[in-house]
Amino acid sequence: MFNFVICEDNFNTAVILKNMVTEYANEKNLDYTVKLCHSNFEQVVEFAKSNIGHVNVYFLDIVLNEKNSTGLTLAKQIRKFDVMAYFIIITSHPELSLKVFNYKIKALDCIFKQEEDLEKRIRECLDTIISESAQINGLTLRKQITIKGINGVHTVSLGDILYFETRPGCRLIYCVLTDRTCIAFRHTMRELIKELDSRFFQCHRSFIINTRFIKRFFRNKQSCSVIMEDGKICDVARSKWKELMSHVSL
């Protein structure tokens, strides 16, 4: 998920930036949100606290018409909570641009509003962000796992796994794939989850699910569960529900 947050006290400028970002994100088929903020900038800090783990991109005007608040002080506060956030500084005061370095916020760029190639500069920044995000995802996601099944050894792409489950009265673990293949093998859920990547979550003592294949969430007073792409209902422990919600939002 890409979150684009535009902090600009001039509403017309904010709308122009929003349109540029929206057009770009639609062209790239991104999963994204765009948020405008032209007053009460403290809410941006609260947003940062609750959205760690997403790709968060902040467009910040240096001069904000609010007491004790500038785009740079805002960035410094956000950086305390989100070390991976991207800051693109937008200003109509080129004489203030050197202050960006004084705040040590690791801004991606500082762009003057009056530049003729404003949109080009913004697109270049967004290209960089998408490229870096793809590289980070590639480093954090494993590609395959080797399963010593009852009937032989299987090398399986993690992206093809729907879920792992244990069944009553049986000491085996069953790996269910997107093509409906089921591989039975001996292991423990506790050790298995350590071999998987961030796509997987142990929602119950009997289930480890690939969160990319969750179709629906279900919760009532009696139980919690998820429905997977193949229609399988996987139980979710009540103590795991909140953690699962946080996990799938990453």
Can you give the residue ranges of every domain in the chain? 2-140, 144-248
Which pLDDT does position 94 carry in this prediction?
A: 82
Phi, psi dihedrals of residue 135, rounded to the nearest 5°: -65, -40
DSSP H or E run through 196? none
CATH superfamily of 144-248: LytTr DNA-binding domain (2.40.50.1020)
Closest-CA residue to 184 (of 156, 209, 146, 147)? 147
Per-residue pLDDT band at 39 (split at 50, 70, 90):
confident
What is the third-level CATH fold of 2-140? Rossmann fold (3.40.50)
| DSSP-assigned beta bridge partners for residue 177 | 161
Per-residue pLDDT band at 230 (split at 50, 70, 90):
very high
Phi-psi label, residue 119: left if phi above 0, alpha if psi -120 to 50, beta otherwise = alpha
Per-residue pLDDT band at 139 (split at 50, 70, 90):
low
- Write out pLDDT tens, residues 166-208: 999 899 999 999 999 999 999 999 999 999 988 899 999 999 9
Per-residue pLDDT band at 64 (split at 50, 70, 90):
confident
| 24 CB neighbour count, 10 Å cutoff | 19
Pairing of strands 173-177, 161-166: antiparallel
- Is pLDDT above 90 for 147? yes
| Residue spans of alpha helices (H) in the chain | 11-27, 42-50, 71-81, 99-102, 118-140, 189-192, 238-248
- Is pLDDT above 60 for 250? no
Let me know how long the chain is. Answer: 250
| DSSP-assigned beta bridge partners for residue 173 | 166, 185
- Is pLDDT above 70 for 144? yes
**DSSP codes, 184-209:** EE---HHHHGGGS-TTEEEEETTEEE
Contact of 174 with 167, CB cutoff 8 Å? yes
